[in-house]
Structure 1
Amino acid sequence: VYIANNMFNNELKFHSDPKIGFDFIHEFPRINKNKTYGFQLYVTNNDAVSIAKLYKDNIARKGEFKTLEEKARKNKEIEKLYGAAHFYFWNQNGLSESNVNWPKLREQINSPVFSHIKELIQKNSSEPGELNVFEQVNKQDFVDKYQKNVILRYMNEVLSMKELYKEDIFLKVDQEASELLNKGVDHLSKMELYNLNKHVLKSVLGDAVEEVSKWGKADGTDIIKEMKSAGIDNAWIGLPNWEQGYMQPDFVTEAKKMGYLVGSYDSYHSIHEKADKNWNTASFTDPSLYEEATVTKRNGEKVQGFLGRGRKLNPTLSLPSVKERMNDILQNGPKYNSWFIDCDATGEIYDDYSAKHITTQEQDLKARLQRMDYIAQEKGMVVGSEGGNDFASSTIAFAHGIETPVIKWDDDDMRKNKTSPYYVGGYWSPNQNVPEKYAKQVPLKEEYKQVYLNPVYSVPLYKLVYNDSVITTHHWEWGSLKVKDEVGNRMLYELLYNVPPLYHLDEVEWNKHKKEITQHLKVWNEVHEKAVKEAMTNFAYLSEDKLVQAASYGENIKIIVNFSNEDMEIEKTKIKAKSAFIINNGKQTMYTPNQ
């Protein structure tokens, strides 16, 4: 076993001719004064458990291993992750389809308020191209599904606009709106502005819409109430954007009351030159950052941002902006108890050759850890990140993407060809709820299935080191239900490797999948809430074809999974095909998903 002493500026190049191997390359950049590197060499048994234990002992000797229970002593909220599945909620609408009496709304489609809405959309929206729908509805005695989606999208869009309130249109407003107007529209926080605009719309739409207190609940608060009633006592709830919290603050408050963790997606990785409200994580109030704080390659070119847009922000210059953003969100919106920071734990770090702020990979990495630690310690958040790589293990509590990473950005059948059965779907959602990219169930090409999902090739090295330190699950693009014909296998994987399921929910997705979600979690939760406090102490293949595997956690938890299509007798126990045999502190359970 080789352990590299210097994790920076290394490259592994794999090859398979004549047999699988790799080359290790270390570079000495001119900007880095550290010109040494070396390895620790160990001889041990040729199995995953021995190798991982050796590495874990090495981390512990350096004082860099921290258990979840140690982290929870500083922030008890971390314990809410034990036995918690991970749910992304897409309740981005202030007003939902079920909140509208459509025949009555249609009668008002020619009224001044809708003329005003159309003007605002024409002037301010990035997608005003479907305004003709209002004219269509005016000539009909019905409103079809597509038209409802368009009208709702535009009505929800104007809820964020300061220009919505006009005294000559909203003649008689309720007390709550009146109190907000007395503050002055320009002095309202975003959360207050959303609230004002909901109330003034209600004042003119009357019984064409439900009471404001019911707006948007079907895709959020109603679901978490059902989850709690169904016995889901622990959950991590993620919002794709903190703006959702401004629109639906009651959802965040209710989730916390139920004992759930709730937080937003955030990122400080990319920066755009011009602000884009649809990509607000890459927008910063300091206008100098784009030119003065971005990463430069050795050849003088700027490193491009995600998907080729904008640039990469130098983390050593980001902390004032991190503090500004976090303070603004928490002062002007609901109080979250968790936060997800994209990219920072993936290992995508840079040497920055900008003359004014030369930065080594090591300095880049330390700055990423510093900003995650600030959010965790100063703001009291349960912090997670993408990837969850080794270096972040003492800072973060959970990670998305190690168990199932992003699969093939560059396969056109998956990413561009919309007629392909493998097309994963787009970011856009017709009803502004879960985008098909996350909800649409698709098969995987056989070659990718072998690499990413075939349990024969699974070796849980990370879990053998960090099971009781970092909770790891899937990348949000490849949630538990995403791969059409692998849902059951992935449920077994989640049990065997102590991995939280990850789901994307709105009203439609919850109603479609709630039975399989709740049934799976009843079994999974009982294991995870205990196993996550233990080290993974053993892992073994129990059949020649490696389709029967066993994992142990501490001294009293053992899971044997039969991924094969045939019943197998293991250790004098008949284990059904596609099933798990669970021994949890003396209790024995045979579990077959979706049965």
Structure 2
Amino acid sequence: MKKKLFSLMLCCLMLFSVFAGGEEEQDRPAGGAPLNLENYLFLRTTGENSAKKVLVSPHNLEMLLLREDGTSLQLSSGINEQVWEVREQNDELIRLRQKEKELEVLFELKGSELRISFKSALVQHLTWPGFQASEELSFIWLFGNGRIVPLADEEWTEYLQGNHELYESPLWGFTTGKETIAWICETPFRNNLLIDDHNFTIEQQYLNRFGEEEKVFRLAWTDGSDPLLPARLYRSYLLESGQFISGEEKLSQIPQEGAERLLGSAQFYIWGYDELSTRDIKPDSWKPFAKALTDGSEQHKALLNLMDHDTKSNITEIAAGEWPSAYAKSQMTRGLSQAIRTIGADTLYDMFPQYLKPIETWGQGVSPSFIHELKNLGIERARLTVEGLHNPWNLPATVAAATEAGYLIGPYDSYHSIHPEALGETGESWETAQFNQELFETGTIQRADGSYYQGFAGKGRYLNPKAAWQVFRERVNGNLGIADFNFYFIDCDAAGEIYEDYNTNFPLSSEEAVDFRKTRLRWLRQDRGLIVGSEGTNPFMLPEIIIAEWGLSQPFSWESAEFNDRNSEYYIGGFWPPDAPAINFLGVPLPEVFKRRYFDAASRIPLLEAIHHDSVLVTNHWGADMFKFPEVTKELQLTQMLYLDVPLYNVNRDRLAEKGDSILHNYEFFSPIHREHGFDQLTDFSWLSDDKLVQMTEFDSGLRMIANFSDRKFEYQGETIQAMSLLTVMPDGELRYFVPLSEPGWD
């Protein structure tokens, strides 16, 4: 998961597509010699590109696109000189074979789409396709929502160096503006993308663990610039193979009440489980309250004995000090919450009514009080995620209040990492990684040499999804027994690492591991009737979920030490305090390189939405919500509206009081449009200005969104779009304007 950033870009940079030199040299192959057509086999295109031909060399698998004027475009360079036996050839098909390697390749042409499949009966490696990239190209790949960058950009080129898994981005393309080429890989596992300077190659690995292996690629091309062509090709593949599931079909499999709450909802992670929050102590009451608790009376001593040592120390500190620290306050309310679980809220209130606000207002994010405040703010539709179930006392009442308010609410869960029982006893573990010792010893992912992969953050191991099937259902059913959830979030399933597993108890190929993940996500939707979300945007996983947390913004703190350096201005924060972890709540500045890499509008394109907008709701990762990087919050809001994605926020009662106006401002524009068009198909994307900072998306309903990311106004069909604002043209011609709010102090 931590490598997602690199591999998403790299895998899409794909090596299959590159021009061989400048325009004047395109009638020559990569080696520079004149093009001799007798050295190639021909496939004849049909339709709009009927004058073009695909050329395949039976000597080395070099592949060219021959234009009608006789010039050529290199689709892939060849491999080491190897003669392939021609088994079959006509205008639409070429079948080649290498007998000694028991390797066969089939090229099938349908219109302007080429399908290439390799079959191997032996364990072997094949390095194909490959190319030496030209700086004249711009590459298109699925990174976040999608990106397009010129290869002449040294900053991006340096970032892309290395060896990367192909499965995290199985679609890519390139364009000069005059022509666009798109590739997808239907079978992305056991393929590595190797990038060395401007040399790009894919290494196909055939393990044949469970029989003959097949690798399948598809290629399409068009005249002009079409940055969404790779997405169109991948969507076509999903539809053709029966893998695409529309959002409407997914919603038809869950209770109508839950389905009606989804479109138009803003997304929230709610924090703070304790029964009592710092908001529930009356102003100027901290010191007298602490003095009363420590006055030595038997009743108060008994109350203190229900709290841990650290909490009692902080209460003593408050009683003796002048101004209580935020940490001491949070510890005091945490201790009082511990006591409530034994004596009850009514008893505590009866003991100290002079210091406590009314009971019905108690709680932090996970509380009926928060639900009421969110509803009173004006948020009519919301999807709430509870970050853990380690403190279930407030959950039933909170879930009941959320359901009554018309919201979706559900737990965060994960079956990616598993920890040994001994680690759980040290405090270094986390809730979702705790199962049982037998499963840790028998059901974890192994390499071919018998060693184990380390789990997330280097702790424990990774859990085999087949081995987890029984505990998965048991835990889910147990969680649903705690409260009447109508939503469920599974971390990592649409993003996490995918391995070949050599565990003799549960041997799995990468494909089988993915199938087991899909099965459990499908079970949540079809068998338990739940709205299902996951972390990640792997396009082959998205047919099974309705909410994808990652595409709109994503975490990247592992890319630079300064994000984790407490002395750095870019420190993203730790996991304290529990009701508002700094890593989720602290707004931080961004180094320019990261601002450009992740939030530059000119390089961002909606590839993900062009595949799945009518199937999946795309939102932020919880580690990079709408407020995490205040310098770019306006750009992020414009992108969200332009793609009709969904905003995600980390909140508790304090955060809602602070940011409520900003949340409501976004919601009031977004929600009505999303309720009608949240599952529209995104059909087109275009740049309306030369600097690519004015952009338009179009949807199959006729909806158009035009965003102006520049610092100057823009005229569109007689309408003025102010700098950093958005114009919506509704299907009936109605015009609506949106101007995002900036974060105070960050403009």
TM-score range, shorter chain: 0.7 to 0.9
- 1:71 touches 1:78 (CA, 8 Å); kept in 2? no
Name which one, 1 or 2, has greater alpha-carbon Rg: 2
Tell me the amino acid that sits aligned with residue 252 of structure 2: R
Structure 2's unaligned 5+ residue stretches are 1-181, 743-747
Partner of 2:608: 462
Q: Give the Å deviation of 1:375.
A: 1.9
- 1:245 touches 1:251 (CA, 8 Å); kept in 2? no
Partner of 2:628: 482
Deviation readout 1:73-104 (Å, 9 max, x if unpaired)? 11132342211111111131111123335424
Note the 1:142-181 alignment, pairs <5 A: 145-157=326-338, 165=342
SS in 2 for 1:38: strand
Q: Give the Å deviation of 1:325.
A: 0.9
- 1:562 touches 1:575 (CA, 8 Å); kept in 2? yes
Q: State the distance in 2 between where 1:575 and 1:142 align.
A: 50
- 1:105 touches 1:208 (CA, 8 Å); kept in 2? no
Is 1:100 matched up with 2:273? no
Is 1:318 matched up with 2:499? no
Over 3 Å counting, the alpha-carbon distance change for 1:138 and 1:105 in structure 2 is: closer
Q: State the distance in 2 between where 1:500 and 1:94 align.
A: 30
Tell me the amino acid that sits aligned with residue 477 of structure 2: N
Partner of 1:60: 239
Note the 1:211-230 alignment, pairs <5 A: 212-216=359-363, 220-230=367-377
Over 3 Å counting, the alpha-carbon distance change for 1:346 and 1:120 in structure 2 is: same
- 1:106 touches 1:143 (CA, 8 Å); kept in 2? no
SS in 2 for 1:36: strand
- 2:273 touches 2:365 (CA, 8 Å); kept in 1? no
Counting matched residue pairs gives: 548
- 1:78 touches 1:397 (CA, 8 Å); kept in 2? no
Q: Give the Å deviation of 1:64.
A: 0.9
Q: State the distance in 1 between where 2:569 and 2:231 align.
A: 39
**TM-score normalised per structure 1:** 0.86
Q: State the distance in 2 between where 1:205 and 1:32 align.
A: 69
Partner of 1:168: none
Structure 1's unaligned 5+ residue stretches are 123-127, 166-195
Note the 1:13-412 alignment, pairs <5 A: 13-17=194-198, 22-29=200-207, 31-45=209-223, 46-75=225-254, 76=256, 77-100=258-281, 102=285, 103-104=288-289, 106-109=291-294, 110-112=296-298, 115-116=301-302, 122=308, 128-129=309-310, 131-139=312-320, 145-157=326-338, 165=342, 197-198=344-345, 201=348, 208-210=355-357, 212-216=359-363, 220-274=367-421, 275=424, 279-284=430-435, 286-331=436-481, 333-412=482-561
Q: State the distance in 2 between where 1:29 and 1:114 align.
A: 68
Q: Give the Å deviation of 1:119.
A: 5.1
SS in 2 for 1:383: strand
SS in 1 for 2:412: strand
Over 3 Å counting, the alpha-carbon distance change for 1:135 and 1:579 in structure 2 is: closer
Over 3 Å counting, the alpha-carbon distance change for 1:53 and 1:145 in structure 2 is: closer
Q: Give the Å deviation of 1:308.
A: 0.8
SS in 1 for 2:415: coil
Q: Give the Å deviation of 1:129.
A: 4.5
Over 3 Å counting, the alpha-carbon distance change for 1:248 and 1:105 in structure 2 is: farther
- 1:246 touches 1:334 (CA, 8 Å); kept in 2? no
Q: State the distance in 2 between where 1:375 and 1:112 align.
A: 51
Between Structure 1 and Structure 2, the one with more strand by share is 2
Q: Give the Å deviation of 1:283.
A: 0.9
Q: State the distance in 1 between where 2:677 and 2:253 align.
A: 21
Partner of 1:427: 575
SS in 2 for 1:421: coil
Between Structure 1 and Structure 2, the one with more helix by share is 1
- 2:366 touches 2:394 (CA, 8 Å); kept in 1? no
- 1:272 touches 1:290 (CA, 8 Å); kept in 2? yes
- 2:374 touches 2:656 (CA, 8 Å); kept in 1? no
Tell me the amino acid that sits aligned with residue 602 of structure 2: V
Partner of 1:175: none
Is 1:568 matched up with 2:714? yes
Q: State the distance in 2 between where 1:51 and 1:330 align.
A: 40
Q: Give the Å deviation of 1:279.
A: 1.4
Q: State the distance in 1 between where 2:505 and 2:409 align.
A: 39
Over 3 Å counting, the alpha-carbon distance change for 1:369 and 1:111 in structure 2 is: farther
Deviation readout 1:21-49 (Å, 9 max, x if unpaired)? 63222222353424222323333344123
Q: State the distance in 2 between where 1:485 and 1:198 align.
A: 42
SS in 2 for 1:451: helix
SS in 2 for 1:236: strand
Q: Give the Å deviation of 1:394.
A: 2.0
Q: Give the Å deviation of 1:281.
A: 0.5
Deviation readout 1:258-305 (Å, 9 max, x if unpaired)? 111111111011111123577110111x43001011111223221111
Tell me the amino acid that sits aligned with residue 568 of structure 1: F
Higher mean alpha-carbon deviation, 584-593 vs 141-150, is at 141-150
Q: Give the Å deviation of 1:9.
A: 1.4
Over 3 Å counting, the alpha-carbon distance change for 1:245 and 1:544 in structure 2 is: farther
Deviation readout 1:374-416 (Å, 9 max, x if unpaired)? 222222110100003212222111110122121131422111x
Instruction: Compute the RMSD of aligned alpha carbons.
Output: 2.4
Q: Give the Å deviation of 1:72.
A: 1.1
